[in-house]
């Protein structure tokens, strides 16, 4: 099969770029210095490559990702870096025959974990991103509560998501450092070995975390392209379905339902993107394009883009090598 045979819109992964990204990160953060975040790709076939590169612990965002990783034989050390109260999902993770660690940040999440069979937790600390996490000053008390319920407290996590996309490296460092002062303080109060934080944007700036939770680096997207030097391995293949020469635009068959749009429009070497609607992207071709032509677009945000699709098509230029199921979708 060749790329132009694929039904569109389709996710395309350049195998050589993916391999180079995985190798580069493994060189920078070898072994358990990196706990790859699987939410970026939701694909156990890809996670197997990260495992083969030496990273055996993984970060997950949903119980479904935890269960799917364990089923794929990738359950050496799974961290759910997220709060959950759902008894059935907690029980599904607790019943796995692999070590699962769950983030908690409140008496309620500690109680839910303890009541539904979870045995290991990390204390999730708010390091400046207004999302989950207890204030650093309150982390020790949550750890005490967890230990009193018989849970093993492995340490702390804190996600400095507000630092990741900052294009100015010095500012990214400063915001990271400010966040890690909070996490280091919490780590002292909590105890345990793990200080889990960071992402693709500051993987080489965060020196406080014992492990970095980067995920996007493997495939990348246009938002991170200006921030870190990994290759763009992921594109969305689309077909030109209409042209309007007088209007100076053409239309391709990808849109809001095949692209994560929270970081903006996709980009393409074929021209400037004007806008996306449900199933269309209108762009101004730099050179005339023909109806039926297949073009590649780089999504602005990899994680939600992948979550819309069933499969990743692994390619080498025009040759389709493999189809990988996006098998960790859902909650
Ligand atoms: C908890 C957590 N850790 C780490 C990351 C970093 O992921 P990425 O490398 O894709 O920026 C994220 C991304 O949102 C996250 O939510």
Q: How many angstroms does the Cα of residue 231 sit away from the middle of ligand 1?
A: 18
CA 172 to chain CA centroid, Å, is: 19
Q: DSSP 3-state assignment of 253?
A: coil
Note whether 299 and 238 are within 8 A (CB): no
- Strands 152-158, 120-124: parallel, antiparallel or unpaired by DSSP? parallel
Q: Which residue has the tokens 């499969």?
A: 311
Cβ proximity of 31 and 205 under 8 Å: no
Which residue owns the Cα nearest ligand 1 atom 12? 199
Determine the distance separating the centroid of ligand 1 and the alpha carbon of 62, expressed in angstroms. Answer: 13
Q: Is 159 in the pocket of ligand 1 (CB under 6 A)?
A: yes
Tokens of 86: 């759902």
Ligand 1 atom at minimum distance from 216 CA: 10
Backbone angles phi, psi at 7, to 5 degrees: -70, 140
Give the span between the Cα atoms of 268 and 210, in whole angstroms: 37
Q: Is 191 in the pocket of ligand 1 (CB under 6 A)?
A: no
Task: Give me the residues of the chain with pLDDT under 70, please.
Answer: none
Q: What is the pLDDT of residue 229?
A: 84
The per-residue pLDDT for 226 is: 81
Asked if residue 40 has its Cβ within 6 Å of ligand 1, the reply is yes
CA 298, CA 319: separation in Å to the nearest integer? 19
Give the Å distance between the CA of 38 and the centre of ligand 1: 9
The per-residue pLDDT for 227 is 84
Element counts in the chain: helices (H) and strands (E) = 9, 15
């Amino acid at each position: 099969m060749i790329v132009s045979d694929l039904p569109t819109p389709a996710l395309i992964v350049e195998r050589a770029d993916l391999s180079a990204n995985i190798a580069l990160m493994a060189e920078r953060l070898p072994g358990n210095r990196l706990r790859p975040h699987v939410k970026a790709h939701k694909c156990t076939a890809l996670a197997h490559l990260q495992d083969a590169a030496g990273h055996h612990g993984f970060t997950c965002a949903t119980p479904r990702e935890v269960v799917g990783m364990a089923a794929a034989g990738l359950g050496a050390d799974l961290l759910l870096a997220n709060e959950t109260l759902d008894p059935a999902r907690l029980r599904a993770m607790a019943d796995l025959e692999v070590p699962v660690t769950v983030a908690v940040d409140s008496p309620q999440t500690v109680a839910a974990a303890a009541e539904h069979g979870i045995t290991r937790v990390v204390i999730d600390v708010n390091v400046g991103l207004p999302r989950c996490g207890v204030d650093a000053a309150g982390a020790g008390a949550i750890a005490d509560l967890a230990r009193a319920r018989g849970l093993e407290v492995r340490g702390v996590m804190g996600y400095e998501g507000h630092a990741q996309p900052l294009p100015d490296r010095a500012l990214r460092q400063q915001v990271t450092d400010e966040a890690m002062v909070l996490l280091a303080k919490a780590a002292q109060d909590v105890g345990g070995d793990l200080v889990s934080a960071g992402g693709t944007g500051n993987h080489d700036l965060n020196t406080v975390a014992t492990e970095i939770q980067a995920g996007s680096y493997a495939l990348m997207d246009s938002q991170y392209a200006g921030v870190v030097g990994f290759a763009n391995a992921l594109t969305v293949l689309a077909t030109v379905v209409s042209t309007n020469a007088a209007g100076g635009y053409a239309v391709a068959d990808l849109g809001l339902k095949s692209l994560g749009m929270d970081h903006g429009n996709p980009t393409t070497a074929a021209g400037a993107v004007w806008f996306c609607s449900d199933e269309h992207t209108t762009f101004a071709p730099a050179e005339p394009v023909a109806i039926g032509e297949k073009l590649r677009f780089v999504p602005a945000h990899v994680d939600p883009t992948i979550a819309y699709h069933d499969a990743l098509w692994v390619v080498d230029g025009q040759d389709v090598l493999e189809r990988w199921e996006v098998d960790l979708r859902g909650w």
